[in-house]
Amino acid sequence: MVKYLLLLMALAFAGCTGNGGVEQQMAGAEPVAAGELPKAGQKVTFVELGSLNCIPCRQMQPVMQAVEKKYGVQLKVVFYDIWNPKQRQYAEKYGIRVIPTQVFLDSAGKEFFRHEGFYSEEQIDVLLKRQGLVPLSGKQR
């Protein structure tokens, strides 16, 4: 219970508001099932934890869509709206202190990088390229 209260206080401090129970996920973003094997060619899973009613979280939506298109099957993008009661469990699972938070997992499902706050497409590109991902031809900017 204390962890939950601390999480709520941290989220309030971040200046984001609850989503009123709206259930949504980014198009094409599917939850990562425990023990799920990555698809052929998938090297990284990008987990975004935030809320649909948080301004910096909303600013991350086009970034997530852009990198998902840019890297194709090499990258799986997952969005959890942790203000949604059905997805709130992921805040505790990933130890979220503020939203948005980005967690990057390797092909074995092990976390290799984490960022709190807005994370630009350019910064994500640098990180993904370091992990061996290559933008699809015609998708580079």
Tell me the pLDDT tens digit for each residue of 59-75: 999 999 999 999 999 99
Residue 88 main-chain phi, psi, to 5 deg: -60, -30
Query: Can you give the pLDDT at residue 16?
Result: 53
Asked if 93 contacts 99 with a C-beta cutoff of 8 angstroms, the reply is no
Q: Which homologous superfamily does the CATH classification assign to the domain defined by 2-16+38-130? A: Glutaredoxin (3.40.30.10)
The pTM of this model reads 0.72
The answer to whether residue 109 scores a pLDDT higher than 60 is: yes
Higher per-residue pLDDT: 4 or 25: 4
C-alpha span between 88 and 8 (Å, rounded): 11
Listed by start position, the domains of the chain span: 2-16+38-130
Average pLDDT in the chain: 79
Mean pLDDT in residue range 89-110: 96
- Which pair of structure tokens corresponds to residue 87? 């997805």
